[in-house]
Amino acid sequence: MSRVFLGVGSNEGDRLKAISDAVRLLSATDGIRVTQMAMIRETEPVGGPPQGPYLNTVLELDASLLPTELLRTLQRIEQRLGRPAVHERCGPRPMDLDVLLYDDRVIAEPELVVPHPRMHERSFVLEPLAQLAPEVRHPLLQRTIAELLAQLDFRCGVRGAR
């Protein structure tokens, strides 16, 4: 089993229900066991067109799926929850599932880059990830999640979900 961390976000429709449904669908998938979920936070969007705020969290999984199999599973869940197969980059979405870390592996494939290339710049990723695994090291930057969070200059309007 591999230790995997996923970023989860939603800013269209019933955001809390979408996150709940994503966790339920992941938990029902062979080869995936959801082991932890960080507190859900409401955050302002980063980049893209004008859009509403997100609910974001991070999940920790035990997964026996290969990274590309996991990616395909995440894409199917996103589509089942209303995200079109073709979508605007950084645009609004009912569900967004991103592989942040997959063990301590570095993956650079056309459709999957792990660790997530911008995770170390985003408080809406690092804050919930630090809640679950502050000691985990970023495999490229060789800093812990807690260290990466502490060195961020900017915290993008993160607050606990109501």
**For the domain that residue 134 is a member of, what is the CATH number?**
3.30.70.560
Q: What is the pLDDT of residue 47?
A: 77
Is 21 assigned a catalytic role?
no
Q: What is the pLDDT of residue 154?
A: 54
* Count of domains for the chain: 1
DSSP assignment letter at 3: E
Distance of CA 15 to the CA centre of its chain: 14
Handedness of CA 123, 125, 131, 134 (dihedral sign): negative
Q: Please compute the mean of the pLDDT values over residues 100-128 and round it to a whole number.
A: 95
Per annotation, catalytic residue among 15, 41, 93, 122: 93
Closest CA to 46 of 150, 126, 132: 126
Q: Please compute the mean of the pLDDT values over residues 36-46 and round it to a whole number.
A: 93
Q: Please compute the mean of the pLDDT values over residues 53-58 and round it to a whole number.
A: 96
Between CA 74 and CA 114 the distance in angstroms is 14
Per annotation, catalytic residue among 83, 143, 155, 159: 83
Is 93 assigned a catalytic role?
yes
What tokens appear for 29 in the block?
């998938």
Q: Please compute the mean of the pLDDT values over residues 56-62 and round it to a whole number.
A: 98
Is 83 assigned a catalytic role?
yes
Per annotation, catalytic residue among 15, 21, 98, 122: 98
Reported confidence tier of residue 147, pLDDT bands at 50, 70, 90: very high
Whole-structure pTM value:
0.91
Is 62 assigned a catalytic role?
no
Whole domain around residue 140: which residue ranges? Answer: 2-160
